Amino acid sequence: MRTRAVALSILSSAAVLAVGWQLGEQGRVQDVASAASTSTQVSAPTATPTPSSTADSGTAASGTAAASGSSAAAATATPTPSTAAGVSGTFTGAVSSTRFGDVQVSITVADGTITDVTALKLTDKEQKSVSISNRAAPVLRQEVLAAQSAQVKSVSGATYTSDAYLTSLQSALDQAGL
């Protein structure tokens, strides 16, 4: 091969790789940002605040389906809108669709604190997705309980599942007004 051909090959390849790497870095920052922000990505808000199993708390959601996964829904769902800190009950997030299947989570809130996160649906297309989901879900649950918000890092190797999980979680949080 001629020197010029070698030089051209190296230069063009390096440029292409650099651009790809740069895009990857940018994408990662955006991924984390979008997963952690608001519930604007929620595809179909099917918020159905269900009465909590511990009915004696008295502050359980009234059962009115929220029209949208916004904070307004939380206001109607909660009898005591003045202090969000006192919210209790189970709130189900919107279904978030990915190409590997739908994801939906519900949260259990006691006195304004997230006490549990339950995955109702997880990515399940193909065996591979199931195994990824099973690995990612406990990690995400732990992190959410620790952070008390959707502002957590996605699990590596399970980007789709994580993003959808956190999106659904955010919509549940919005309903709870947290």
Question: Residue numbers of the site for other proteins (CB under 8 A)?
Answer: 1-2, 4-5, 8-14, 16-17, 19-21, 23-25, 27-28, 31, 99, 126-128, 131-132, 135, 156-157, 159-160
Joined tokens for residue 1: 């091969």
- Report d(CA 52, CA 9) in Å as an integer: 64
Rounded to 5 degrees, φ, ψ at 29 are -60, -45
- Report d(CA 68, CA 47) in Å as an integer: 7
Residue 14 or residue 146: which is nearer to other proteins going by CB? 14
The distance of closest approach from Cβ of residue 104 to other proteins in the complex, given in angstroms and rounded to an integer, is 21
- Alpha-carbon distances of 79 from 3, 56, 86, 170, rounded to whole Å: 77, 14, 10, 21
Residue 72 or residue 139: which is nearer to other proteins going by CB? 139
The distance of closest approach from Cβ of residue 12 to other proteins in the complex, given in angstroms and rounded to an integer, is 4
Closest to 135 in 3D by CA, of 153, 144, 146, 122: 122
Rounded to 5 degrees, φ, ψ at 87 are -65, 135
Residue 74 or residue 132: which is nearer to other proteins going by CB? 132
Joined tokens for residue 80: 């005591």
The distance of closest approach from Cβ of residue 4 to other proteins in the complex, given in angstroms and rounded to an integer, is 5
Residue 92 or residue 129: which is nearer to other proteins going by CB? 129
Residue 6 or residue 65: which is nearer to other proteins going by CB? 6
The distance of closest approach from Cβ of residue 9 to other proteins in the complex, given in angstroms and rounded to an integer, is 4
Closest to 171 in 3D by CA, of 52, 45, 83, 35: 45
* SS3 state at 135: helix
The distance of closest approach from Cβ of residue 130 to other proteins in the complex, given in angstroms and rounded to an integer, is 9
